[in-house]
Structure 1
Amino acid sequence: MSERRNVLTPEALAMMDAIARTGSFAAAARELGKVPSALTYSVRQLEEALDVLLFDRRSRQARLTAAGEELLHEGRRLLQEMDAVANRVRRVASGWETQLSIAVDSILSTLTVFELCEAFYALNPPHGPGTRLRLRSEVLAGTWEALVNGQADLALGVSGEHSLPPGIKMEPLGDLHMVYVVAPHHPLAQAPEPLSEADLVRHRAIAVADSAQRLAPITVNLLPGQDVLTVPSVGSKLEAVLRGLGGGFLPDSLVDEHVQAGRLVRKEVRRASQRVRLWYAWRAGGNGGPARGRERLGLALQWWLEQLERPATRTALLQRHGGLPSRSLA
């Protein structure tokens, strides 16, 4: 057992990751600054110690076996955990995180997110306080998944209520009012209101794909048997609706300008009020332990949470999808 443990070094796991990403031993060797024979030898040592085959020798490319896929997956997770431990140690020493990863649902205001980034870097211009920001665009359950899987420290726009695992805290961000819109040349633009489900099901819906990889994806406002065009973000959904490729529910704050300009037609539907409650959540404890007070958080995360406590920030994230930049978030 100790021999198997000894071969699972960060270098060996990084080697597996490089081979899988580049697709060949030669390319991985160039990336790692080694010769291909050295990588081949290291992989064979790893296979012998674990008593498994990690790569299919029948393939010209570096094709992983099922065992290799599992080692790659768990190895990447372990490397992330090692990085997280190093970051936590540095945070204890300096107070500022090396990196802060923020998952942002694509339904929120991108303009406001970047205004917050500007304000953050202005704490110590031009580079900020030394914390690298990493923004992730997610959709529906993918926003929550990025947080609970450790890929994000802060998640903005979490959909639905969740049972909180240890070390996670959540607060309400606010409500979005969703409206059904179509292009002026769409067949439903002139249909009598309110639209019934029978009216909607005869026409293509534009839906945003849930970005969750492991959690059950969330499906919203789709009817059985309805034709669907699936797109990767809320912005692309708006573009598809503007082109008349289908209809869909979008935040009223996002489509209001287009409705006023005649580029979209808002239609009443025979359904309950389309209000969506969104949340923001963050990792409040280390190593899966109990959630701790704000004073134990990194200073970068503390700063972002302080901004989110302001009603103006929360409102801007939900409603400011266009227009001039605001200086009220600094």
Structure 2
Amino acid sequence: MKIPRSTLEQWQVLQAIVDCGGYAQAADALHRSQSSVSYMVARLQEQLGVELLEIDGRRARLTKNGEALLQRARRLLDDAFQLEEFARSLNDGWESELRFAVDSLFPSELLVRILREFEPLARHTLVNLAETILSESEDVLREKRADIVIANYVPAGFLGDALLDIEFVAVAHPDHPLHGLGRPLNEDDLNRHLHIVVRDAGVLNPRDYGWLNSTQRWTVTSPATRSEMVKAGLGYAWMATHKIAGELERGELKALPLRTGQKRKLTLSLIIANTERPGPAACQLVQIIRSVIACHCKDKGGGCPAI
């Protein structure tokens, strides 16, 4: 096995000479004698067989070869410092990986805010983010595939805190025949037309969400595909209001004038898979989730608002 001739310490000395402006300044910054600094650079050049520095007046200046080599060495030094920071974080009990499962109904803008705040605190943690659909969140909990879960219900045996109420409306293309009836719609009206739903991705305990009972029903696996189908006029669907706000505003979709039950709600909850021994990274993420949601609720006027 080959062992490098040069050391990180030698490259750090070279970097200090360049950044500080000379041998004496580098010696002061590194708390070394000037002779030891000079020796380490001379030894480095001898080992590499490449001239790294040249003296320009009283200032040491990199040669072209020195510039190219130091550029790569800086990355090595950064990697070494990050490796040491990673070791310290592991020693403190910080998780090397954090598995975060989020229901697909959770607002994307809030998820991005959460991750943006978490990222500087978890530079050495690999985050595995999974989006779940309907009862799939229970699967990841029971199969121990997630540490933190935002789910549309709390399965038996787990504890959760309510975060947000997601509001649903029944929508269709403005030219859909249901809108052409020109009157408030009842359940029989809906049953006469194609209902487009998203398949429950869970397999352990699929749930009946009530509005999936239409006899004329097409099922898709992607919420985005369902949205495109509804916008194309193929059928109607119950969709989260915040996910289609733009389509409603642009007139691509229109809420159906239901006689009763025009809106439905589903509560998203925060679940910690291992409440007895959550790691530091998990605790930080939970704290950030609660903080971001609290700020959102405050902006919306308090409580646990519907989105």
Instruction: Provide TM-score, normalisation by structure 2.
Output: 0.62
CA distance 1:233–1:281, shift in 2 (3 Å): farther
1:141 aligns with 2:135: yes
The partner residue of 1:240 within 202, 214, 229 is 229
Give 2:211's aligned residue. Answer: 221
* 8 A contact 1:193–1:267 mirrored in 2: no
Query: How far apart are residue 313 of structure 1 and its match?
Result: 5.1
Q: Are the structure 2 counterparts of residues 300 and 199 from structure 1 closer, same or farther at C-alpha, using a change threshold of 3 Å? A: same
Question: How much does 1:207 deviate?
Answer: 0.5
The question of 1:188 aligning with 2:188 is answered: no
Quote the Cα distance in structure 2 between the aligned partners of 1:245 and 1:300: 45
Secondary structure at 2:244's aligned position in 1?
Answer: helix
Structure 1 stretches lacking a partner, 5+ long: 1-89, 285-290, 321-330
Which moved further from structure 2: 106-115 or 93-102? Answer: 106-115
What are the superposed Cα offsets for residues 1-37 of structure 1, whole Å, 9 maximum, x if unpaired?
xxxxxxxxxxxxxxxxxxxxxxxxxxxxxxxxxxxxx
In structure 2, do the counterparts of structure 1 residues 243 and 224 end up closer, same or farther at CA, with 3 Å as the change threshold?
Answer: closer
Measure the CA separation in 2 of the matches of 1:161 and 1:300.
22
| Structure 1 residue 122 displacement after superposition | 2.4
**TM-score of the superposed pair, with normalisation by structure 1:** 0.58
Secondary structure of 1:278 counterpart: strand
Supply the RMSD in Å over aligned alpha carbons: 2.7
1:283 CA drift (Å) = 1.4
In structure 1, the residue matched to 2:84 is: none
Runs of 4+ in 1 over 3 A off after TM superposition: 90-93, 217-220, 270-273, 313-320
Q: What are the superposed Cα offsets for residues 249-279 of structure 1, whole Å, 9 maximum, x if unpaired?
A: 1122222322221111111323435122221
147-156 vs 213-222, which moves further:
213-222
**Alignment partner, residue 179 of structure 1:** 169
Q: Distance in 1 between matches of 2:171 and 2:219?
A: 16
Which of residues 312, 315, 330 is equivalent to 2:295?
312
**2:19 maps to what in 1?**
none
Map of 1:66 onto structure 2: none
Structure 2 unmatched runs, 5+: 1-87
Aligned identity (percent) is: 24
Cα pair distance change 1:318/1:117, threshold 3 Å: farther
The answer as to whether partners of 1:140 and 1:218 remain within 8 angstroms in 2 is no
| Equivalent position SS for 1:211 | coil
**One-letter amino acid matched to 2:192:** R
Distance 2:149 2:135 in 1: 11
Assess if the C-alpha contact under 8 Å between 1:253 and 1:319 holds in 2: no
Within the alignment, does 1:299 sit opposite 2:280 as a pair?
A: yes
Q: Which moved more, 1:203-212 or 1:189-198?
A: 189-198
Residue 200 of structure 1, aligned match among 182, 190, 198: 190
| Residues 305 and 120 (structure 1), Cα distance of their counterparts in 2 relative to 1, 3 Å cut | same
Judged with a 3 Å threshold, the aligned counterparts in structure 2 of structure 1 residues 246 and 308 are, in CA distance, closer, same or farther, namely same
